[in-house]
């Protein structure tokens, strides 16, 4: 079974890129299930209901969230009504929507969890470990395989979560920094892991944004509207090959298209 994880969609152009290319890529690579982090599809203002619908039609089986997901209040009702889109589980039960879902994948039950880290990220949510533990305990026996998107800034925090759930969650991938890391690996107990899968959006700037805007904001500390980077969009991701018999990841492939 091949599972594709795609990093943060950073803009409407990134969404359009997936609409044009994701299904074709899935067919070429024989992808069985695709998770896309869509929290920035409206360009740093969350994701809209229309954007979520388009992303699911484009080939995402599940959309995970992050720190910007709840900024767009228009998505709240859609989060409540749609099993295929998630917000971080550690926003808690008072927030709209859900932090995990169970979806069909070729007859197997796929548990997908969206969680957020605590270090150097805003808002600061509750400890993700306790929420992930609770989800795994509550749904024990109700799923066959599991995927976790840990949306976090600190690489050490993501790696700690990777080792903390090695052998308990089949695939763990990180999002948020928009920069693909070089530590794609299979952990000792068979979990496929990467600290960050990268992003899907315009290239040639700073994590999807125009470099001049970012540099000026950092130099002056004054407000300046972000503008998208000038280059053509691309999608970064990872393909995890999962053995259905053992539940272990047997191969990983870093991809960009």
Q: What pLDDT score was predicted for residue 218? A: 93
pLDDT of residue 109: 98
| The CATH number of domain 2-202+233-256 is 3.30.30.10 | no
pLDDT at 223: 87
| Residue 112 to residue 161: CA distance in whole angstroms | 15
pLDDT at residue 192, as a whole number: 98
Enumerate residue ranges in the chain where pLDDT < 50.
none
Angle ∠(207,89,190) on CA atoms, nearest 5 = 80
CB contact at 8 A, 217 and 224 = yes
Q: What is the pLDDT of residue 44?
A: 75
Q: Any idea what DSSP says for residue 209?
A: B
> How far apart are the C-alpha atoms of 168 and 164, rounded to whole Å?
8
Q: Which residues contact 53 (CB under 8 A, 6 or more apart)?
A: none
At residue 43, the pLDDT reads: 85
- Is 17 an active-site residue? no
Going by C-alpha positions, the residue among 86, 111, 93 that lies closest to residue 169 is: 111
Parallel, antiparallel or unpaired: strands 249-256 and 233-242? antiparallel
Q: Give residue-wise pLDDT tens across range 162-190.
A: 999 999 999 999 999 999 999 999 999 99
Residue 225: predicted pLDDT: 87
Q: What is the pLDDT of residue 226?
A: 87
Contact 169, 148 (CB under 8 A): yes
- Determine phi and psi for 5, rounding to 5 degrees: -115, 130
Residue 45: what pLDDT?
Answer: 84
């Amino acid at each position: 079974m091949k599972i594709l994880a795609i990093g943060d969609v950073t803009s409407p152009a990134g969404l359009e890129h997936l609409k044009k290319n994701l299904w074709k890529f899935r067919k070429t690579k024989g992808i069985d299930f695709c998770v896309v982090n869509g929290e920035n599809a409206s360009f740093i203002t969350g994701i809209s209901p229309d954007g979520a619908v388009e992303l699911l039609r484009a080939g995402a089986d599940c959309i995970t969230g992050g720190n910007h997901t709840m900024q767009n209040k228009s998505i709240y009702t859609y989060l409540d009504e749609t099993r295929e889109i998630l917000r971080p589980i550690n926003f808690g039960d008072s927030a709209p929507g859900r932090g995990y879902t169970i979806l069909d994948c070729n007859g197997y039950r796929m548990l997908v969890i969206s969680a957020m880290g605590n270090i150097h990220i805003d808002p600061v949510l509750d400890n993700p470990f306790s929420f992930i533990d609770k989800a795994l305990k509550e749904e024990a026996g109700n799923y066959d395989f599991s995927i976790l998107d840990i949306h976090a800034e600190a690489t050490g925090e993501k790696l700690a979560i990777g080792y903390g759930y090695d052998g308990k969650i089949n695939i763990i991938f990180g999002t948020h920094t928009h920069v693909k890391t070089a530590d794609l690996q299979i952990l000792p107990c068979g979990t496929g892991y990467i600290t960050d899968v990268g992003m899907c959006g315009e290239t040639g700037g700073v994590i999807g944004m125009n470099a001049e805007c970012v540099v000026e904001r950092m130099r002056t500390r004054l407000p300046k509207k972000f503008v998208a980077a000038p280059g053509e969009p691309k999608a970064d991701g990872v393909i995890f090959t999962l053995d259905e018999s053992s539940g272990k990841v047997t191969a990983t492939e870093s991809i960009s298209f």
